[in-house]
Structure 1
Amino acid sequence: MTVSQNSIDNSKTRVEDVSFLSHVKYEHLVAGVSGGVISSLILHPLDLLKIRFEVNNGLDYNPQYKGIINGLTTIFKQEGVRGLYRGAVPSTIGAGSSWGLYFYFYTALKTWQQDGNIDKTLSPGQHLVAASEAGLFTLVLTNPIWVCKTRLCLQSSVNIPKTHYTGMIDTLVKLYKTEGILGWYKGFLPGMLGVSHGAIQFMAYEQMKIIYYKHKDIPISTKLGVLEYLSFAAISKAIAVSVTYPYQVIRARLQNQIYSFEGMGDCVRQTWLLEGLNGFYKGLGINLLRVVPATMITFVTYENISHFLITFKTNS
């Protein structure tokens, strides 16, 4: 009797394992990568300027910019079009892989909680957990790319760091040679705190969709229009950015190569002492100007491509 019960339990475990793996679909990976790459290529100059604003503590960083327009025109005058796209390769790879992996993990975890029924409504807490887990998995795989992006974006003809990088591969190699594996994971701790950013964003996004589906009395798997996806993406991103922005400033400052801190605690302390509360929100305006449209582009691209691929696969 005991052996029989164990066999049944093992059988159940195998079925559950297979069931979870069955929720991992490449369509979400492809759709997420597409959305991330497109939005990154369109809005990279704003991303570059945001990073330079973030690390500017008023003491060690040059050049100084007076605002968004002044920053973009100054970079163009001093460094040309190439200057506006410094770090674009790791940025595009990072955005594509991050969004692709995030949607890949998130949809698998979410569908697993739905027991395979994509019309089953989940609670805000369940969306929060799935998004947090997806964010953590993605961060572990992509943090080295973000360090490369930060280092490359901070190079300019005016500000010449101790180590000069010629590209993404060169940056990864030099980081490893000079700082070891830990160099690839600079800013990882605040990045872990930043997982809450994606979790809040996805929870808000999903809850707005659920409210809308209930209002329209339609299944939650129904494909919505572009305007609905744009609206939900913009609002959810604005909420997440407003709540979690300081971690991005701390992460960028830890990843920079111009000046250094002894750790996250030291970075927080020095930022507070030198710049006060405003120091934790450096670049917020330029960030909102960049990430809200970027998120709108990413989510609309993702929703439409994923629906197309899944429908095409089902009808094939």
Structure 2
Amino acid sequence: MHFADFVAGSVGGAVGVVVGYPIDTVKVRIQTQRRFTGVWHCFRSTWKTEGVYGFFKGVSVPVTTVSITSSVVFGTYRNCLQCLLQLHSGSPEATPTKLDVFLSGLAGGVTQVLVMSPADTVKVRLQCQMEPRQSATTRTLPRYRGPIHCMLTIAREEGVLSLYRGAPALCLRDGPSFATYFLTYNTLCEWLTPVGQKRPEWPVVMLAGGLAGVGGWTVGTPMDVIKARLQVDGMGKRKYLGFLHCITESVRQEGPGVFFKGLGLNCMRAFPVNMVVFVTYELLLGFLRTPP
């Protein structure tokens, strides 16, 4: 069991969340609220009504939970990879095939949904709750007063299982997305690292990590849209009867282009976030695996 990957993945994920959270908030609002005509309109509206705070709504949830889920993803990926290598090569130190990397990434992405789904639902609800800045004339309390209050309110009003609303879409997003993510990173590092050199140089890690994030989100964005809509459904009158109904209704009302809402923002956020994630991950992994 490789425990270093769990620790390095945890820290890398938490750092990545802070870097990319403002863009994520704008992306979620565009995907779920039709009143925004574009990125700039959403940005200006958020800034005008809520200030800087509006871009970081719910950030405490993912900083805490993404460190856990990222730990699960990287740890599951590494240990799955070692098991596959042991099975077909007889040695966990053998060079993995592209299929080994793909399947291990798929396993990591699906596994972390069990941990991530409730926290992700809370995050999305808080991001989509737009109340004006507090002043002497505006004292109305928001529906959700924080992450814990939001989670308890959802469980009380909609049932505990509502915290897992969007979980099927989350699985379909994160399985293929993380498979692509690790495959892209592994392939680029392999291509750009000179023969005989065991570890890639830091510029290679940064480039490969950034492009891995872009590749993963390109694959994952269609299901990210459906996932976000299902999670927000319930803040008002229920619009969707379930996963398939959400897909058909979204396409009927907005056309196939609805699946790519937020793709540009996802890719814009993915490069710096995952560059930081992999640099942190590789740095800590090297430190934790260095013999005393």
TM-score when normalising by structure 1: 0.82
Q: Of 24, 36, 60, which aligns to 2:13?
A: 36
CA deviation profile, 1:70-89 (whole Å, cap 9, x unmatched): 43232122112211211111
Equivalent in the alignment of 2:191: 211
Q: Tell me the CA shift for residue 146 of structure 1.
A: 0.4
Question: Conserved in 2, the CA contact under 8 Å of 1:233 and 1:295?
Answer: yes
Name the % identity.
Answer: 24
Structure 1 residue 143 and structure 2 residue 122: aligned?
no
Equivalent in the alignment of 2:126: 152
Structure 1 residue 125 and structure 2 residue 94: aligned?
no
Q: Of 149, 153, 156, which aligns to 1:170?
A: 149
Q: Tell me the CA shift for residue 238 of structure 1.
A: 2.2
CA–CA distance in structure 2, aligned partners of residues 307 and 100 of structure 1: 16
Q: Tell me the CA shift for residue 262 of structure 1.
A: 0.5
Question: Conserved in 1, the CA contact under 8 Å of 2:30 and 2:42?
Answer: no
Equivalent in the alignment of 1:15: none
CA–CA distance in structure 1, aligned partners of residues 223 and 189 of structure 2: 27
1:216-227 map, 5 Å: 216-218=194-196, 222-227=198-203
CA–CA distance in structure 2, aligned partners of residues 223 and 45 of structure 1: 33
Question: Conserved in 1, the CA contact under 8 Å of 2:19 and 2:272?
Answer: no
Structure 1 residue 88 and structure 2 residue 59: aligned?
yes
Q: Letter of the 2:72 partner, please give it.
A: L
CA–CA distance in structure 2, aligned partners of residues 108 and 217 of structure 1: 25
Structure 1 residue 24 and structure 2 residue 22: aligned?
no
CA–CA distance in structure 2, aligned partners of residues 239 and 66 of structure 1: 23
Equivalent in the alignment of 2:138: none
Q: Letter of the 2:222 partner, please give it.
A: P
Q: Tell me the CA shift for residue 181 of structure 1.
A: 2.5
Q: Of 207, 221, 230, which aligns to 1:254?
A: 230
Q: Letter of the 1:265 partner, please give it.
A: L
Structure 1 residue 46 and structure 2 residue 23: aligned?
yes
Equivalent in the alignment of 2:42: 71
Question: Conserved in 1, the CA contact under 8 Å of 2:17 and 2:62?
Answer: yes
Question: Conserved in 1, the CA contact under 8 Å of 2:25 and 2:55?
Answer: yes
Q: Letter of the 2:225 partner, please give it.
A: V
Number of aligned positions between the proteins = 277
CA–CA distance in structure 2, aligned partners of residues 223 and 308 of structure 1: 13
Q: 117-126 vs 226-235, which deviates more?
A: 117-126
CA–CA distance in structure 2, aligned partners of residues 305 and 73 of structure 1: 38
Question: Conserved in 2, the CA contact under 8 Å of 1:139 and 1:192?
Answer: yes
Structure 1 residues 66, 238: CA separation in 2 closer, same or farther (over 3 Å shift)? closer
Which residues of structure 1 form unaligned runs of 5+?
1-22
CA deviation profile, 1:250-295 (whole Å, cap 9, x unmatched): 0000000245310111111111111112111111111111122111
Q: Tell me the CA shift for residue 42 of structure 1.
A: 2.1
CA–CA distance in structure 1, aligned partners of residues 8 and 106 of structure 2: 20
TM-score when normalising by structure 2: 0.88
Structure 1 residues 80, 145: CA separation in 2 closer, same or farther (over 3 Å shift)? same
CA–CA distance in structure 2, aligned partners of residues 208 and 81 of structure 1: 36
Q: Which has the larger radius of gyration?
A: 1
Question: Conserved in 1, the CA contact under 8 Å of 2:11 and 2:67?
Answer: yes
CA deviation profile, 1:93-137 (whole Å, cap 9, x unmatched): 232222111111111111222339564111111111111112221
Q: Tell me the CA shift for residue 65 of structure 1.
A: 4.6
Q: Of 64, 69, 74, which aligns to 1:98?
A: 69
